[in-house]
Structures are given as structure tokens and as C-alpha cells.
Structure 1
Amino acid sequence: MKLYYDPDCGICTQAGRWLAQQEVRADILPAWSDEEFSSKVDPQRFSRAIPLVTDDGHTVYGVVAVGLVLKTSQHRSLRVLGRCLLSSIGRLPAEKVYALIAQNRWRLPGSTCSLPRRS
């Protein structure tokens, strides 16, 4: 699995670095770092949510991407969190929080996001 983050966004870069330290079984890579990004990731969706290219070649975004990666962690608490994010009960509130953060990421402390702002 490959999870791609926006290397021009401070929030995305910090989140990517944190995930890479959590002993997950996924490559955490800056966007545009390999050919698979260009061929598997929709640029419009990438502007709103982090993409994960699964081992079978499918691309998922946002909460589902994060949940799938967390489920592979060596840390039990993160595996549980991943399952919660993917559950029918946890997914809807997680998606609302994710969307709120994504829509306002350039306003957050430490952000250097250069993705186009939606009006």
C-alpha cells in the first residue's frame, strides 16, 4: 500500500511523518514521488483528501485511507482506531471532522498548504 501526502502542506507533511513512525505496513510517500501517483490518483480528489493506493491497485481517499493504514499498525490502539474509522458508526463523524480540517487546513497553525482554496 502507498499513502501519498501533499509535501507542500505543513499539516499533511506532519501527518505523513507521524504515520510513518507508527509502524504501519504502508509506504508513506510525498505526492508525485513515483509513477503510480500520477496514474492512480485523481488530482481533484487529492485536493480534498489523502489518497491510498491499495496492494490490488484500487485508490481510496480520506478517512477510509487513514483507517486502512492504521489497521496495519503494530500498535494495538491504532489498529482499534483504524477499525473504528472504518465502522458504520465511526465513519460518518470521522468524515465530517476530516472534511472540516481539510477545508480549513491553511488556517491551522503550522500549515503551509498551497493547494487551491475552494470558494
Structure 2
Amino acid sequence: MPTRPGGPVPVLVYDGDCGFCTSSVTVLQRLLRPDCSVAPWQFADLGALGTTQRRAESEVLWITPTGTVYGGAQAVARLLLRAGRGWAVLGALLTLPPVSWVAHGVYRLVANNRTRLPGGTPACALPARRSEDPAGP
């Protein structure tokens, strides 16, 4: 787990091959300035962080210093909470039903269509589910 002078910090893990994801993370870092480490999953030690490549391919991850892994909209909520100021209020709202249900749906809609969004490329496509993979497991 990455550390700073104050101790370990959370890690935001994203898809570094996806132009849309990389641009989004860059904007969020500049705008929010959260106290965390940021790493593309392709260069992160996912096992040491307590997660898998399969999960990192399908959603942004927020990994706490204690090893709790949040994905998708909940990872974004944790990022906002960590940013503090007014962002923390929005982050807190994203953790509460029914807002969290809507946030999950919006996140999945964006994630499933990121190849069509600005900066999206074929590398942004989510991997096919194993059940859809004709080669099998």
C-alpha cells in the first residue's frame, strides 16, 4: 500500500489503456486533488492490493489502506469523500439508497459505452464475459 508522511493512503486503480478513463482520472485529480495514490491497473500489483485483473478491467477501483475494495460508482463516491470540501457531500449521497442504485446504473451505462465517449478507443472496450467467450474458460 502506498504511503505518505501521514501514513498509508488509498489507491485509485483505473484502466490505463482507455483514453476516456485516463482523461477522466486526469480531470478528477486536477479538480478534486484527493489525498490518494493513482495507478493504471496495468502497472499496479493487483494481488498485493487485494484485487484481480478481471475486476480491474471492468470498473474503477478504490482500495483503502485496510484493504477494502470498492468498485464502480462506490469507488467514485469514496474518491469524492476523500477529496473533502463540498465534494464529500456528493460522495456521501452516492453511498445512500436510492441514489446509490441510480449511480450504479449510470456508472454501468458509461462503462459499457466508453468506446463511444470522447477519448474512447477500441482499447476501452470491456472484456467479454466468460460465458460469452467462445473459447471457453
Band the TM-score falls in, shorter-chain normalisation: 0.7 to 0.9
Does residue 54 (structure 1) correspond to residue 71 (structure 2)? The answer is no
TM-score, normalization by structure 2: 0.76
Structure number with bigger Rg: 2
Counterpart contact for 1:10–1:113, Cα < 8 Å: no
TM-score, normalization by structure 1: 0.86
AA in 2 matched with 1:67 = A
Q: How many residues were matched structurally?
A: 117
Residues 85/59 of structure 1: CA separation in 2 closer, same or farther (3 Å cut): same
Does residue 111 (structure 1) correspond to residue 136 (structure 2)? The answer is no
Q: Percent identity?
A: 29
SS at match of 1:52: strand
Does residue 101 (structure 1) correspond to residue 123 (structure 2)? The answer is no
AA in 2 matched with 1:59 = V
Measure how far apart 1:117 and its partner are.
4.5
Residues 104/3 of structure 1: CA separation in 2 closer, same or farther (3 Å cut): same
Which ranges of structure 2 fall in alignment gaps of 5 or more residues? 1-9, 133-137
* Aligned pairs for 1:19-98 within 5 A: 19-21=28-30, 22-35=32-45, 37-39=46-48, 40-74=50-84, 76-98=85-107
Runs (4+) off by over 6 Å: none
Output the aligned Cα RMSD: 1.8
Counterpart contact for 2:41–2:53, Cα < 8 Å: no
Which ranges of structure 1 fall in alignment gaps of 5 or more residues? none
